Amino acid sequence: MLSRRFFLATAASSALASTARGSDGVIKLRDLYVKGGAFSDLARSLEGQRITVDGFMAPPLKADLNFFVLTKMPMATCPFCESETDWPQDIVAVYTKRVVDVEPFNVRIDTRGVLELGAYKDPETGFVSLLRLTDATFS
């Protein structure tokens, strides 16, 4: 039997998710974070679910990796390789099953994967992500 509390929590979560998604179901990076870099209520409600997020592929840390960083604005240089470059506040690490074919930095892409929250350190590069898509694809 469904409780009223369960129903209200589910309805609120669904309403929150649907308002942050565009008509095509794509979530904006800005909707996954709140001011100060904390996770939004939307991000917490979608944890463990397969979602679609759009943005731009940042230049890779190095060649032949199975992940890349998705940013909301195009970045011509790797934001993590240059000491003078500001680190973006709202990024998503995108982990794929295969080595990533790099896209031009100024081409918007849609990524689709399972949303994971919390610190994770990539064993190959040492890159630490707080929010990532796993088992991801992009187009």
Distance separating alpha carbons of residues 106 and 88, to the nearest angstrom: 16
In our burial notation (b when 16+ CB lie closer than 10 A, e otherwise), range 81-119 reads eeeeeeebebbbbbbbeeebeeeebeeebebbbbbbbee
Per-10-residue mean pLDDT for the chain, 139 residues long? 44 46 79 91 97 93 90 81 63 94 94 96 90 96
Q: What is the per-residue pLDDT for 81?
A: 67
Domains and CATH numbers, the chain: 4-138 (2.40.50.140)
Contact 40, 17 (CB under 8 A): no
What's the pLDDT at 90? 80
Res 45: pLDDT: 97
**What pLDDT does 116 receive?**
98
pTM of the model: 0.79
- pLDDT at position 4 is 46
